[in-house]
């Protein structure tokens, strides 16, 4: 089975026309109805819009051509054409809205009602922001903030993480560079199917604030995560899980 992502505590898998959601805590499995697609349709990722226990929960599958929606407890899929010029790298939910970022680092919103729409967000870069060219950025929801984490430089030598906050109060909207994360820690993965997330006051469980956590480069390491303080150099982070 092919791994599509993780959302609201569930691993999401596909195998041809079959889908499977697995609760990572209990092992409980949920099987959505079969999904019939043509051979040109390649499903890249999946997210839940709400916990499965919620009455308005639905599963969204994203392909190169379509968005497929399954309203939980129903027996059918709804198909929407995906009208986007570029491949969507990552999709997050922020304040009840779907935001996505594509290959040329363009921020977009996705809506399904009253009709499917992928809309580019008119947003400018702050003057002190360096746009990374070697790696695609990550979107991270942190409390009431939508952040973009960008890697400036190279993973092997002296790359550093740069964090920008989406400021929708400006006209036009603006990415504003953050010098500190204060009491927040961010978690990202090189595998874009995995969700990014944030944690307030990570010292409660022995973590560190003002840090970005990335998977360890060594499979044999006792520490599965490496904490990189914002502004410090990043070295040899190559493991994609």
Q: Do 77 and 149 sit in the same domain of this protein?
A: no
CB 240 within 8 A of CB 190: yes
pLDDT number for residue 44: 87
CATH code, domain with 62: 2.40.10
Residues 21-55 have pLDDT tens digits of 999 999 999 999 999 887 778 888 999 999 999 98
Residues 110-167 have pLDDT tens digits of 888 887 788 899 998 887 777 655 578 899 999 999 999 998 876 555 788 999 999 9
Six token digits for residue 214: 């990335």
Burial of 25 (0-12, 13-18, 19+ CB in 10 A): exposed
Q: Do 130 and 78 sit in the same domain of this protein?
A: no
What is the domain extent for residue 28? 1-82
pLDDT number for residue 127: 79
Residues 56-111 have pLDDT tens digits of 899 999 987 889 999 998 999 999 887 766 778 899 999 989 999 987 778 999 88
Region for residue 134 given its phi and psi (left: phi exceeds 0; alpha: psi -120 to 50; beta: otherwise) = alpha
Rounded-to-5 percentages of helix, strand, coil across the chain = 0, 50, 50
pLDDT number for residue 132: 58
Q: What are phi and psi of 90, to 5 degrees?
A: -150, 145
CB 203 within 8 A of CB 182: no
């Amino acid at each position: 089975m092919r791994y599509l992502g993780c959302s609201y505590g569930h691993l999401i898998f596909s195998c041809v026309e079959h889908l499977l959601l697995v609760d990572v805590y209990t092992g409980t499995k949920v099987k959505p109805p079969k999904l019939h697609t043509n051979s040109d349709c390649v499903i890249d990722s999946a997210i839940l819009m709400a916990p499965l226990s919620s009455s308005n929960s639905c599963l969204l599958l994203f392909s190169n051509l379509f968005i497929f929606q399954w309203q939980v407890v129903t027996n059918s899929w709804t198909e929407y054409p995906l009208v986007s010029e570029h491949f969507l790298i990552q999709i997050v939910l922020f304040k009840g809205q779907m935001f996505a970022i594509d290959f040329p680092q363009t921020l977009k919103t996705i809506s399904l009602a009253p009709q499917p729409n992928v809309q580019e967000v008119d947003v400018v870069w702050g003057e002190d922001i360096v746009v990374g060219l070697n790696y695609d950025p990550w979107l991270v929801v942190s409390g009431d903030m939508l952040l973009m984490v960008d890697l400036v430089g190279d993973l092997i030598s002296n790359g550093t993480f740069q964090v920008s906050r989406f400021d929708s109060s400006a006209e036009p909207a603006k990415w504003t560079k953050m010098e500190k994360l204060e009491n927040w820690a961010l978690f990202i993965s090189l595998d874009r199917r995995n969700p990014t997330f944030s944690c307030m006051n990570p010292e409660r469980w022995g973590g560190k604030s003002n840090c970005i956590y990335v998977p360890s480069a060594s499979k044999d390491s006792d520490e599965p995560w490496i904490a990189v303080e914002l502004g410090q150099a990043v070295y040899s982070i190559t493991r994609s899980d």
